Amino acid sequence: MKTETAELFEVTPEIAGTQELPAQRTKPAEKKRPSRQSEDKRFKIFSGSANRKLTAEICEIIGLPLGETKVQRFADGEIYFQLLENVRGVDVFVVQPTCNPVDQHLVELLIMIDALKRASAGRITVVVPYYGYARQDRKDRPRVAISSKLVADLMTTAGANRALFMDLHAAQIQGFFNIPVDHMFASPVMVSYFRKLDLPNLTVVSPDAGGVERARFFATKMGAPLAIVDKRRTDINVTEVMNVIGDVQGKTCLIIDDIVDTAGTLVKTADALLANGAIQVYACASHAVLSGPAIKRIADSKLEELVVTNSIPLTEEAQKVAKIKVLSIAGLLAATIESIHMETSVSTLFS
């Protein structure tokens, strides 16, 4: 960190021509934070292999070079990671969504944290735009694991000092961590986009009861009424739409969700809304997981547009689908990272 230095001296009777007074002594210059984050050598950002493009965008906005690392694999698939610069005493941020392949990116993140801890990093903050295993946050059936708690323990044990997440599937996952957690939302980016579209007769729709709070917040920001789709999950990635609760007749509907995985629920919800009189249906989701038949389902669906963020990088196949629109959350994450480093309020970003 560059700091200004001042030559200190004591005012003597010979210099001043009077008796020495304590008040005449100059005070040490106060240390000031650098005007640009790029000048702060105590602040570094590193990226895993899951979404380097997003990390590069964050670094460009902040004005920091991306930390240099080496990531390789042994013949059997083991991950080899090495830091290529000094991090002793540094406030470090590691950006790594645990997206597909989930296990590979999760283990890579844990190894990165361990390397930083052993290199004496001052503080390690994991920035996980998409938190894999978040949907397994409770025992909804006998003899199942609470995997999101296990992943939280792994990150903490590896050496993370704090965590930053974007749109967790369930907000209570924050309670699984014994370290400070900042939970950000992509809604400011999404709201800004849909306000510009100025959709007529808009109704915001939650695709299930669990997402009502998320959809209600969005509806309040858009000044629109709220509708809910009653669905039943019959198996993993299999749902059945039961009823539409709310008036959607002659409305433009906007479905709000956090994850689009196989897109089965999304497409069925859109069909149910249109069957109940909606004139057109848009959708937005923070995390475009897009597994299996998702891309084809979206392309063949009656959706006008699906808006997602770049928390997860889209495949080449998904990028070719005209209905899928990607918004960047790099600016929001960059502002949050700077607030954490400067120890200022993060909640003001939503005011």
Catalytic residues: 231
Who's near 137: CB < 8 A, 6+ residues apart? Answer: 146, 148, 149, 169, 170, 172, 173, 176
Element (H, E) at 230: strand 226-235
Q: How far apart (Å, rounded) are the C-alpha atoms in residues 6 and 9?
A: 10
Q: Other CB atoms closer than 10 Å to residue 44's CB: what's the count?
A: 23
**Residue 179 in 3-state DSSP?**
coil
Handedness of CA 334, 338, 343, 348 (dihedral sign): negative
Q: At what angle do helices 52-62 and 330-342 cross, to 10 degrees?
A: 60
Q: Please, are residues 54 and 37 in contact by the beta-carbon 8 Å criterion? A: no
Q: How far apart (Å, rounded) are the C-alpha atoms in residues 175 and 108?
A: 24
Who's near 172: CB < 8 A, 6+ residues apart? Answer: 137
The token pair at 229 is: 């789709």
Q: Other CB atoms closer than 10 Å to residue 36's CB: what's the count?
A: 11
Q: Phi-psi bin for 220: left (phi > 0), alpha (psi -120 to 50), beta?
A: alpha
**Residue 128 in 3-state DSSP?**
strand
